[in-house]
Structure formats: C-alpha cells, structure tokens
Homo-oligomer: A and B are copies of this chain.
Amino acid sequence: MTDQPEAIPFEPTALLRAGNRSLSVMDQIRDAILDGSVSAGERINEVRISKTLAVSRTPVRAALQALAGEGLLDYAPNRGFTVREFPLDAIVDAYEIRASLEGVAARFAAERGLNAEERAIVEQSLIAGDRLLERGSFEPGDLIRYRRINGDFHDTLLSAARNRMLAEMIRICHHVPMSSSRNIVAFEHRDVRRRHDDHHRIYEAIMAREPWRAEILMREHVSGVKASLVKSLTERGEPIDMTDAAKTG
C-alpha cells in the first residue's frame, strides 16, 4: 500500500484481501476458474498469471498450492498446475455427496440446537420465501432473490452443525466447477415452491429435535436438486449451465 512500484495499466491489482497478496491472487484465480475464463484441463502458466496480476511468481505459486488443496487444481511435479476436469458424472456425484453431508449437518443441528440468532435467520428465510412465492409466478430477479434466501437457510443450518470439517467439505462440493457457463437452468415456480416446502419441514424436524428425520429430509431435499438437474439435462440438449443451479438447491 505504501509504495506500490507502479500503477499497472491493465489490471489495477483489484482490492487486496487483508494484508496478503496470495489470498487476493487466490480469489482472482478461483473466480477465473469458476466463471470459466480458464477452461478445464488447461495448464496454468505461472509467469503469465504473475504478469497479468502484476505480482511476482511467489504469491501466485502460494495461491495455486492452496487452490490445489481446495481441489480445483491438479498438480504434477515439474509440470505445474492444471485446472481439474469435472466430467458430468463427477458433477452429478457431487450432488449425492453434498446431499449426504448436508444430511449429517441437519442431524447435528437437530442434536445441538440453534441459537437465537440462527433461529431468527432461518425463520426469516422461511417467511421471505413464502412471501416471494405467494404470487404464484416469478418476476425478473425473483430467482436471484430466492437464491439468497436459499443460501441463508442452508448456511445457517450448516453453522448450527458446529463442525468445521463438515462445513469445509460442503464448501468444496459447492466449488465443483460446472461444465459450460452459459444458460441458466430455468427452474419452474412449482419446483421452487416444493423445495421451499422442504425447508419448512426440515426446520420443523430440527426444532422438534428429531435428528434422523432432519437428516433424511435434508438428504432428499438436496437429492431433489440433482434430479431436476439431470432431468433438465436430458430434456434439453447438452450444454447447460450449472453454475447457478448449484446454488438453487
């Protein structure tokens, strides 16, 4: 911050994440991968990236190491990093895995209970969803809005599970990059309605302190997303974006 050697013309080194360049670089590379700027299987050139981001290779390498740890990159000695490929099978599997993990999270949440703040957020998400859905049809932007509501619900239950490893594994599932990055899977109003009802039931089970019921319901809930996804994949042609669909479960 004090005396950056020179203001770089093209990429003004986006806002730095707290003190540390590696972390900032990491975020930028991750974004580039997730939004498809660099395609799967592609080999990553350290010097090119370091020039683009106007930093040395050191923080770039650090970021790449970390991203490999997150499972987004593969590493081969003396050959550097490549963007990991996710065949369609693996993407579908990821939903199953996430279903299983979020099921466990729901069970833990039911066993351990929610604190006041968490209850407030979840209940708010249920109410907001009800309001959004009561019209019977979507207006533009509603899906985006629902995605946030959905995220609040799942994130809060996850934090109520009080287990870091679980949270990290689920985060990894969310980071599975999706095939192509155009097209949004257009979910029907009825589908979203059904999933929101799932949320109600799951929360009931958790508040009733019924861990196993919570687990089964959550599992089925997430599996349902996979099902609609596979359905929309087989109905339409092939190239479908799942980047957003992933967050609409």
Contacts and interface: CB of A to CB of B under 8 A. Distances in A.
A246 to B, nearest CB: 14
B18 A90 contact: no
A81 to B, nearest CB: 12
Report copies per complex.
Answer: 2
Interface in A64-121: 65-66, 68-71, 77-78, 90, 93-94, 96-97, 100-101, 103-104, 108
Contacts of A62: 61-62, 65
A6 B247 CA distance: 55
A2 interface: no
A165 B84 CA distance: 11
Interface of A: 18-20, 23, 61-62, 65-66, 68-71, 77-78, 90, 93-94, 96-97, 100-101, 103-104, 108, 163-166, 168-169, 172-173, 176
B168 A78 contact: no
Contacts of A173: 165
Nearest to A18: B77
Contacts of A90: 163-165
A172 B18 CA distance: 28
A10 to B, nearest CB: 26
Given A18-B77, A96-B104, A165-B176, 18 more contacts: A20-B78, A62-B65, A65-B65, A66-B69, A69-B69, A71-B165, A71-B168, A90-B164, A90-B165, A93-B108, A94-B165, A97-B104, A97-B165, A100-B101, A101-B101, A165-B172, A165-B173, A169-B169
A66 B100 CA distance: 26
Contacts of A61: 62
A69 B66 CA distance: 6
Q: Which of A62, A94, A165 has its CB near the most chain B CB atoms (within 10 A)?
A: A165
